[in-house]
Chains A and B, each alone.
Chain A
Amino acid sequence: MEIKILFTILISTIFINNYVLSRILGLCPYLGVSKKLDSAIGMGLAVIFVMTMASFFTFIIYKLLLLPYHVEYLRTIAFIIVIATLVQFVEMIIAKISPSLYQALGIFLPLITTNCAVLGVAVLNIDSGYITQQYGLLYSVTQGFGGGVGFTLALIIMAGIRERLELAFIPENLKGLPITFITAGLMAISFLGFSGMKLF
């Protein structure tokens, strides 16, 4: 196993193929929670945790349960159940540790279940062929972690920009979603600059 490979996976999921700005996954919470920086950070950390653990458990379930019994086609249903359970778990933890954050995140915490990015990374781990590789589990968990970090990065940048947009002059019809999307588009262009980067 080479650290090189892990590093490549991290760089490519955080920057080159950023889940939000490049693969366009995880938009609903991205647009909903990015209004304030604090809730954005809290949401980002929750998503990192869920994506990493989801990568871990879905990989194990696929390898030990679905493959041996030749029911790979059930992966969609198995994965979503795993993710839903994990999110429930994270909800309980956050409610106990930081009730204020729980309040701030509101409806968006259980909505991590329907976050395209979480199910997306679980499916992507399988499609990347890690199942047959020797350190596949490690690569998958790294990819999940990187995906979460990339999501959080994009979220924090967007929250910072949106907080300032509140004070800027924006024409009435552009306020809210339109200007947010255009901002996201500009961010996506800047992240496009990472593509074509040769690592090692």
Chain B
Amino acid sequence: MNNYFKEIFKGVWEKNPTFVLGIGMCPTLAVSTSVSNAIWMGIATTFVLLCSNILISTIREYVPSHVRIPIFITIIASFVIIVELTLKAYQPSVYKALGIFIPLIVVNCIILGRAEEFASKNTILHSILDAIGMGLGFTLNLTVLSAIREILGANKLLGYQLIPGMKPALLMVLAPGAFFTLGLLLWGMNVIKARAALFKRTE
């Protein structure tokens, strides 16, 4: 049981897609303007990641190596279209808020990367755990980033005002704010890792 938790947790900390592996940054920066956008994007991406991981892992024996990338892309794109249509039909406000980033889930490096590196070489169960872990890590990244940006940049959280009458720092919800926030968070991660390494060495 412990092993399973480790597999999931790996996607959150050790192999965090944005902060450690450095993939999937376009949506992380662009969609993190509000926490509700972030959570929905995380749900959508995790769904696509889960389904594609399961399917690719199931058919991994039958996929010829030279055409594997087109096959993966077709599978991922199909699931993205399913998500697109579902959101358009049942959550139109979310569909409008996420805009072009829903079809852009197809080119999210995380999904293709995990399909290529993990799902095509591991069992279905492990692929499921990997997908859950990566999706969770991605969603957490998005949520943390968007919480910072929404609170500082729009004086809101989940769409509701925080401190009445205070004018927020608009820059944070625009592109520069995204870059700065991620840069400073990455700096923080590096500091934490350096301290941890120092600890290990002095033990």
Contacts and interface: CB of A to CB of B under 8 A. Distances in A.
| Direct contact between A and B judged by beta carbons closer than 8 A | yes
Interface of A: 21-28, 31, 73-77, 79-81, 84, 113-116, 119-120, 123-124, 127, 172-174, 177-182, 184-186, 188-189, 191-192
Given A73-B81, A80-B73, A115-B107, 6 more contacts: A24-B30, A28-B23, A76-B80, A76-B84, A116-B104, A185-B183
B190 A73 contact: no
B152 to A, nearest CB: 14
A120 B194 contact: no
A30 to B, nearest CB: 9
The size bracket of the interface on B is: 35 or more
Contacts of A182: 179-180, 183-184
**Residue among B29, B100, B182, B190 with max Cβ neighbours from chain A (10 Å):** B100
Interface string B173-203: 0111111101110110011001000000000
Given A77-B81, A189-B171, A192-B176, A177 B103 contact: no
Interface in B66-94: 69-70, 73-74, 77-78, 80-81, 84-85
A162 B12 CA distance: 30
A185 B74 contact: no
A181 B186 contact: yes
29 contacts: A21-B175, A24-B175, A27-B26, A28-B23, A31-B25, A75-B103, A76-B77, A76-B84, A76-B106, A77-B78, A79-B103, A80-B77, A113-B107, A114-B108, A114-B112, A116-B27, A116-B107, A119-B107, A123-B104, A127-B100, A173-B187, A174-B187, A177-B22, A179-B183, A181-B179, A182-B184, A184-B179, A188-B175, A188-B179
Contacts of A188: 174-176, 179
A14 B15 CA distance: 35
Interface in B1-52: 22-23, 25-27, 29-30
Given A73-B81, A114-B107, A123 B100 contact: yes
B178 to A, nearest CB: 6
Contacts, number: 116
Given A77-B74, A115-B107, A192-B176, A27 B183 contact: no
A83 to B, nearest CB: 9
B85 A73 contact: yes
The 4 closest A-B pairs by CB, nearest first: A181-B183, A185-B179, A173-B190, A188-B176
B169 interface: no
Given A73-B85, A77-B77, A181 B26 contact: no
A181 B25 CA distance: 11
A97 to B, nearest CB: 24
Contacts of A185: 176-180, 183
A76 B100 contact: no
B157 interface: no
A76 B103 contact: yes
